[in-house]
Amino acid sequence: MCGIIGYVGEREALPIILDSLQRIEYRGYDSCGILVQDNSADGKFQVHKSLKSIAQLKNNLAESEYTGTIGVGHTRWATHGVPARRNAHPHFDCEGEIAVVHNGIIENFQALKEGPLSNCRFKSDTDTEVIAHLTKKKMIKTDSLEGFELQLKEAVKACLSELMGSYAIIVTAKGFDGLVAARQDSPLIIGVGDRENFIASDVPAVLEQTNRIIYLEEGDIAVVKKDSIYIENNDSEVKRNERLIPWTTEDAEKGGYEHFMLKEIHEEPKAIIDTLRGYLSEEGICLGLECDARRILMVACGTSYYAALCGKYMIEHLAKVPVQVELASEFNYSDFVLDDMMVMAITQSGETADTLMALKKAKRFGCKTVAITNVVGSTATRIADDAIYIRAGLEIGVAATKSFIAQLVIFYLLGLFLAKMPKHRLEERISDLELMPLLAQVVLDEEGENIQKQAGYLSNYANAFFVGRGVNLPIALEGALKLKEISYIHAEGYAAGELKHGPFALLTEDTPVIAIMTPDSTYDKTVGNVKEIKARGAPVIAIAEQGDEEVEKYVDRVIRVPKTGAIFSPIANTVALHLLAYWTAKERGCEIDKPRNLAKSVTVE
């Protein structure tokens, strides 16, 4: 979704804003805009909007032309209106005195445009612009600066009370020595500095400047100045705790890799180690959950949904606790009967709108809720009764990779935790778990070159299928999602036994099939399926274990992963498929960290 940043302090705002925007460009990148208020009494607005990347903007904007110590910036993921300069933020009222940057969706913008704002001149197709016009309409003239601050805050509040939808906004007004921020169903944080403060849609935007973070809560409205932060909710002042965030700027940099995605795939072993370390102790597995779940419902979207599907197999296999997995966006509008289930929201960002809605629905039904997320303090953790953190570290690539692996690790832990097995058996299982980082590392070290070669081959095709069975079916789905989102090859994941029920009609020599062929109890069935696929002329690339020589008889190409028990095979298979997607996209010259039309965290329904 869109990324927003605001700065108020004593330093020049422009370089700080551009640097921050570049760090959160993964939130959306179809256009961008900056505003710097000059330091004159009138606080003239200097504005630049562009369809270029932030890097280009950095090169093109002369800092001397945009001087001032208060400013805002925005990087856009289009919802209302095509990517165009007129739709880039900030947006203004008719007189150009109030400026707004916004992430979210104002659902009743059309009604406002045609109703109370019908006499305003709109310059964009966005929903956001109504916020600037409406705030201006609510302002009452005043001469004192103090009076102005109060008026502006009250005007923003009055405006927000008429909006329907979601927003994280920063409002600035000519001549005002601060910024007004507010959030509803979209994340917004304040970075606390020394005689300067920052407002941003997410933490990486400000990490270079500060790791002291305040997370705004739903309905908060804040007036942020260089040496004060005032927050109110429901007309009363509130105190929000400051947290020290452990991420460093190094986490937010590529560290010598060409893309964040490749760096993050190479961090998969570390994500596994860190996640395990967080929850293993002398006593066994300590998830901090008081949990006696007899049934679990998992809600999630996208990659997290596939992780949850994998989690279902793991937990049912290890603990024999039934797990149901639902797409959050479907669950929210279904008549699903929620009884005594424990509801787990799987969301690496903790901000996905559909998943948050699902959590709220579960709470309304009185279910116990748990957020499984990578982001401390994210909205999901504040809605749910409990939180379990995956410890993947900061993930910047739009395509989730190491966070997916860390989610899988949590499900193994959860499965063992719920299994309540005797200590000696648990210890054996934990030893298996401790081998997982090594399995991931072996794929990176030993198979990287071969995977690049196979990617060169795959990159020539327009369509592909991924198939797997059992615990590796969700891994096939994940492999297909990753390939399509970054290489733009049309890819579909299927249960290996399902292709014959329709998709076979699409198989030709131009439709490669990537088959996960882990030697588990379904191996022979998968071999049968592969033979059927080959009989239709489609080339097959197998993901097969080292030492499985038989597989060579059935397929055209092989990617090798280390030997492991079937239940742990998703780890190595995932690393292989993440690399395959990466190198295929690279071969095709795609914008890997900024795939077309996507954004890292989807904060609209």
Please give the residue ranges that form the binding site for ligand F6R (CB under 6 A). 301-304, 347-349, 352, 355, 399-400, 481, 485, 601-602
Least gap, CB of 27 to ligand F6R (angstroms): 12
Least gap, CB of 401 to ligand F6R (angstroms): 8
Calculate the dihedral angle through the C-alpha atoms of 154, 156, 160, 163, rounding to the nearest 10 degrees.
Answer: 130
Is the Cβ of residue 20 or residue 349 nearer to ligand F6R in the bound state?
Answer: 349
Catalytic one among 2, 301, 310, 367?
Answer: 2
What the block records as the tokens of 515 is: 């088959």
How many angstroms separate the CA atoms of 175 and 228, rounded? 17
Least gap, CB of 407 to ligand F6R (angstroms): 8
Give me the half-sphere count of Cα atoms (radius 13 Å) on the Cβ side of residue 41: 3
Least gap, CB of 139 to ligand F6R (angstroms): 37
Comparing C-alpha atoms, which of 106, 77, 178, 91 is closest to residue 136? 91
Amino acid at site 100: V
Least gap, CB of 63 to ligand F6R (angstroms): 35
Amino acid at site 408: L
**Whether 127 contacts 165, CB under 8 Å:** yes
**Whether 223 contacts 217, CB under 8 Å:** no
Q: What residues contact 249, with CB distance under 8 A and at least 6 apart?
A: 207, 208
How many angstroms separate the CA atoms of 478 and 401, rounded? 10
Largest CA distance in the chain: 84
Comparing C-alpha atoms, which of 473, 458, 582 is closest to residue 517? 473
Is the Cβ of residue 485 or residue 545 nearer to ligand F6R in the bound state?
Answer: 485
Least gap, CB of 599 to ligand F6R (angstroms): 9
What is the DSSP code string of 1-66? --EEEEEESSS-HHHHHHHHHHHTGGG--SEEEEEEE-SSTT--EEEEEESS-HHHHHHH--GGGS
Burial class (CB in 10 A: 0-12, 13-18, 19+), 195: exposed
Is the Cβ of residue 344 or residue 400 nearer to ligand F6R in the bound state?
Answer: 400
How many angstroms separate the CA atoms of 516 and 207, rounded? 40
Is the Cβ of residue 22 or residue 347 nearer to ligand F6R in the bound state?
Answer: 347
CA 20 to chain centre: 18
Is the Cβ of residue 304 or residue 381 nearer to ligand F6R in the bound state?
Answer: 304
Least gap, CB of 203 to ligand F6R (angstroms): 14
Residues constituting the chain: 605
Is the Cβ of residue 35 or residue 592 nearer to ligand F6R in the bound state?
Answer: 592
141 flagged as catalytic: no
First to last CA, the chain: 11
Residues forming beta bridges with residue 344, ordered by sequence position: 298, 370
Is the Cβ of residue 54 or residue 353 nearer to ligand F6R in the bound state?
Answer: 353
Is the Cβ of residue 251 or residue 510 nearer to ligand F6R in the bound state?
Answer: 251
Least gap, CB of 370 to ligand F6R (angstroms): 14
Is the Cβ of residue 273 or residue 602 nearer to ligand F6R in the bound state?
Answer: 602
What is the DSSP code string of 471-509? GGHHHHHHHHHHHHHHH--EEEEEEGGGGGGTGGGG-ST
Strand pairing report for 463-468 and 368-373? unpaired
How many angstroms separate the CA atoms of 14 and 6, rounded? 10
How many angstroms separate the CA atoms of 106 and 128, rounded? 7
Question: Nearest residue by C-beta to ligand F6R?
Answer: 302
What the block records as the tokens of 586 is: 């690279």
DSSP 217: P
Is the Cβ of residue 301 or residue 475 nearer to ligand F6R in the bound state?
Answer: 301
Least gap, CB of 226 to ligand F6R (angstroms): 33
Q: What 3-state class would DSSP assign to 323?
A: strand
Q: Report CA-CA distances (Å) from 140 to 120, 143, 153, 210, 421.
A: 17, 10, 11, 36, 68
**Whether 299 contacts 328, CB under 8 Å:** yes
423 flagged as catalytic: no
> Apex CA 151: angle with CA 148 and CA 155, to 5°?
140
Least gap, CB of 31 to ligand F6R (angstroms): 21
Least gap, CB of 384 to ligand F6R (angstroms): 13
**Whether 412 contacts 317, CB under 8 Å:** no
| Owner of token pair 């997995």 | 325
Active-site amino acid positions? 2, 600
